[in-house]
Chains A and B, each alone.
Chain A
Amino acid sequence: MRVKSWHSKIFWEIWAPVLLVAIWWFASADSASFYFPALSTIAVEFKRLWLFAQVPTEIWPSLQRLLIGFVLAVVAGISLGLILGLQTRLERALRPLIEFLRATPGVALLPIMMLLFGIGTTMKVSIIVLVTVWPILLNTIDGVRSTDPVLRDVATTYHVSFAHRIRYIVLPNAAPQIFAGARTALAIGMVAMVISEMVGTPGGIGYFILNAQRAFDIPAMWTGIIALGILGYLLNKLFGVLERRILAWHYGMMAHQQGGGA
């Protein structure tokens, strides 16, 4: 039952989007509405703009900022999470502050970030880092703290060095939770990316969507939204592939346990 053929996998992946597109297509076929043009009109625009004329000018800058911000957040979140996860007392002292900062919507800091960093790339990347670092940080702390005390005793009695404890015990143990946090971070990072582009210097999908709307080029606006959706979907898929590869042991173990014995 668990081993599905590839075509059935693909079917379950695409049936809902295909159905939705079909409904949209026919429902909007003879649309006279200015704001909701026919999907066929949008499709023509989409092909003209995004396959692949604007990829280097709009998508690439967006993607670059998102990836730089995300990677910085991953590095900062894991490093800080390691320290706080290992230093229980420090973590307890800083917990309220972290909870407060996390609960503050990062995009609310846009105005101050614009004052500090201007409206260019620095501001946009900073906002992305500021928004995405929290789920990674908090999940890393939890993951580090969930290290089994028996493994700690193993490390102690076998004189496993501090660096090796981190590399071979603490981090792998926390990895499933770190990945879960990073996945959330990636999704909200896209939101931060779009919003920062809407208020900042030209370039990027967010800017394109807002600019098209302001120029009353409604079909173009719709194509931007669709392109954004596709980008998000692809990034999430890519992340999933990476996760499955790095956490192969984790998925293997879970499948093994659910399968019930050897």
Chain B
Amino acid sequence: MTALQPEIRSTEVVLEAKGLGHAYGSHTVLRGLDFTVGKGEFLCIVGPSGAGKTTLLQCLTGLRAPAEGQVFFEGAPVKGTPRGLSVVFQDYSRSLMPWLKVIDNVTLPLRSAGVPKAERQEVAMQALSEVGLADSTQSYPWQLSGGMQQRVAIARALAFRPTAIVMDEPFASVDAQTRADLEDLVLHVRHHLGITVLLVTHDIDEAVYLADTVLVLSGKPAGVAALIPVNLPTPRDQLATKALPAFADLRAQVYTLIRRTAAPPELKLAQ
């Protein structure tokens, strides 16, 4: 395995937010976000529910034009989803087409991109093998378990041959064991293919476990509370990594930041 270690990754920037802000009418959700995601980096954005994570993601992926600031992908301003960026959505049961077999779900974007049939079959098979689904290509998504369906969505993202993958709470609707498996799968794929990953989650443990950098999103309107480098040894391990004192420290650090800025309701009333 030719692992691309975080220590030796280049300083080239893949995704950059500059003064990013958004408001729905007079309700400001995001304000003044500045951060960059380097090539090969794994950035986790963590924040409480309702912190504007979804809006941020929509701005980053070009699904929504931000009211303020700009997003750059590989140096170019984002207008619409850039090629080279794949998105994995939270709800696999809604993001896969139940009328298409697994393989056809994965090849559809390639079909539109004009990739010849033989090649797109090959690329899709590679991606499906990467996520351990080489035997389920002819199944329909609803015949698979939740975890397997999310793997299909990940394979679809990989088959698009992206520089970066953006994942929106990708493991929020699977059970704990499947969640751990999928986390390790994403880590493996990222190392194996050297892909940049931006993952949004509300789970602090998950963010610290996966990331090279944790971006803590908090406040109302939400801003970057901190960018915390995670210098835990790689490869990560569900038991060993989480047992490290450094893991507990980072976890506490992130938790403190989130709690400090997310004021309890009675304090908000006093403002």
Residues of A near any B CB (own CB < 8 A): 148, 150-151, 153-154, 156-161, 164, 168-169, 172-173, 175, 249-250, 252-253, 256-257, 262
- B153 to chain A: closest CB distance in Å? 9
Q: Note all chain B residues with C-beta closer than 8 A to A253.
A: 98, 140, 142
Are B113 and A159 interface neighbours, CB within 8 A? yes
Q: Indicate whether B81 reaches chain A with its CB closer than 8 angstroms.
A: yes
- Which residues of B from 107 to 149 have beta carbons under 8 Å from A? 108-109, 111-113, 140, 142-145
Q: Among the interface residues A249, A250, A257, which one has the most CB atoms of the partner chain B within 10 A?
A: A249
- A215 to chain B: closest CB distance in Å? 53
Cβ proximity bits B72-109 to A, threshold 8 Å, 1 near / 0 not: 00000000110101110101001101111000100011
Are A157 and B63 interface neighbours, CB within 8 A? yes
Are B97 and A150 interface neighbours, CB within 8 A? no
Q: Indicate whether B42 reaches chain A with its CB closer than 8 angstroms.
A: no
Q: Note all chain A residues with C-beta closer than 8 A to B209.
A: none
Are A150 and B81 interface neighbours, CB within 8 A? no
The residue that B81 contacts in the complex, of A148, A157, A250, with Cβ under 8 A, is A157
Are A150 and B89 interface neighbours, CB within 8 A? yes
- B161 to chain A: closest CB distance in Å? 12
Are A164 and B140 interface neighbours, CB within 8 A? no
Are A164 and B86 interface neighbours, CB within 8 A? no
- A232 to chain B: closest CB distance in Å? 30
Q: Among the interface residues B85, B95, B104, B144, which one has the most CB atoms of the partner chain A within 10 A?
A: B95
Q: Given that A159-B113, A256-B143 are contacting pairs, would A153 and B63 also be in contact in the complex, using a CB cutoff of 8 Å?
A: yes
Q: Note all chain A residues with C-beta closer than 8 A to B62.
A: 157
Q: Note all chain A residues with C-beta closer than 8 A to B94.
A: 148, 150-151
Q: Note all chain B residues with C-beta closer than 8 A to A153.
A: 63, 87, 89, 95
Are A159 and B83 interface neighbours, CB within 8 A? yes
Q: Note all chain B residues with C-beta closer than 8 A to A252.
A: 140, 142-143
Q: Note all chain B residues with C-beta closer than 8 A to A157.
A: 61-63, 81, 85-87
Q: Given that A157-B63, A160-B112 are contacting pairs, would A151 and B142 also be in contact in the complex, using a CB cutoff of 8 Å?
A: no
* Separation of A240 and B111 alpha carbons in the complex (Å): 32
Residues of B near any A CB (own CB < 8 A): 61-63, 80-81, 83, 85-87, 89, 91, 94-95, 97-100, 104, 108-109, 111-113, 140, 142-145, 156, 160
Are A156 and B63 interface neighbours, CB within 8 A? yes
- A177 to chain B: closest CB distance in Å? 13
Q: Note all chain A residues with C-beta closer than 8 A to B100.
A: 168, 172
Using CB atoms, name the residue of chain B closest to A150. B94
Are A164 and B145 interface neighbours, CB within 8 A? no
- A80 to chain B: closest CB distance in Å? 23
Secondary structure at chain B's binding surface: helix, strand, loop or mixed? loop
Are A172 and B112 interface neighbours, CB within 8 A? no
Q: Note all chain A residues with C-beta closer than 8 A to B98.
A: 249-250, 253
- A39 to chain B: closest CB distance in Å? 47
Using CB atoms, name the residue of chain B closest to A161. B112
Can you list 19 A-B pairs, Cβ within 8 angstroms, ordered by A? A151-B94, A151-B95, A151-B97, A153-B89, A153-B95, A157-B81, A158-B109, A158-B112, A159-B83, A159-B113, A161-B112, A164-B108, A168-B97, A168-B100, A249-B140, A252-B142, A253-B140, A256-B143, A262-B144
Are B112 and A250 interface neighbours, CB within 8 A? no
Are B145 and A262 interface neighbours, CB within 8 A? yes
* Separation of A191 and B95 alpha carbons in the complex (Å): 42
Q: Note all chain B residues with C-beta closer than 8 A to A159.
A: 81, 83, 109, 112-113
Are A154 and B89 interface neighbours, CB within 8 A? yes
- A67 to chain B: closest CB distance in Å? 26
- A160 to chain B: closest CB distance in Å? 5
* Separation of A262 and B112 alpha carbons in the complex (Å): 32
Q: Note all chain B residues with C-beta closer than 8 A to A262.
A: 143-145
Q: Note all chain B residues with C-beta closer than 8 A to A161.
A: 112
- B189 to chain A: closest CB distance in Å? 18
Q: Note all chain B residues with C-beta closer than 8 A to A256.
A: 142-143
Q: Note all chain A residues with C-beta closer than 8 A to B86.
A: 157-158
* Separation of A257 and B98 alpha carbons in the complex (Å): 12
- A134 to chain B: closest CB distance in Å? 26
* Separation of A157 and B162 alpha carbons in the complex (Å): 12
Using CB atoms, name the residue of chain B closest to A252. B140
**Nearest 3 interchain pairs by C-beta:** A158-B109, A172-B99, A150-B94
Are A164 and B99 interface neighbours, CB within 8 A? no
* Separation of A157 and B109 alpha carbons in the complex (Å): 9
Q: Note all chain B residues with C-beta closer than 8 A to A151.
A: 94-95, 97
* Separation of A116 and B112 alpha carbons in the complex (Å): 46
Are A249 and B108 interface neighbours, CB within 8 A? no
Are B143 and A169 interface neighbours, CB within 8 A? no
Q: Note all chain B residues with C-beta closer than 8 A to A169.
A: 97
Q: Note all chain B residues with C-beta closer than 8 A to A148.
A: 94
* Separation of A252 and B100 alpha carbons in the complex (Å): 12
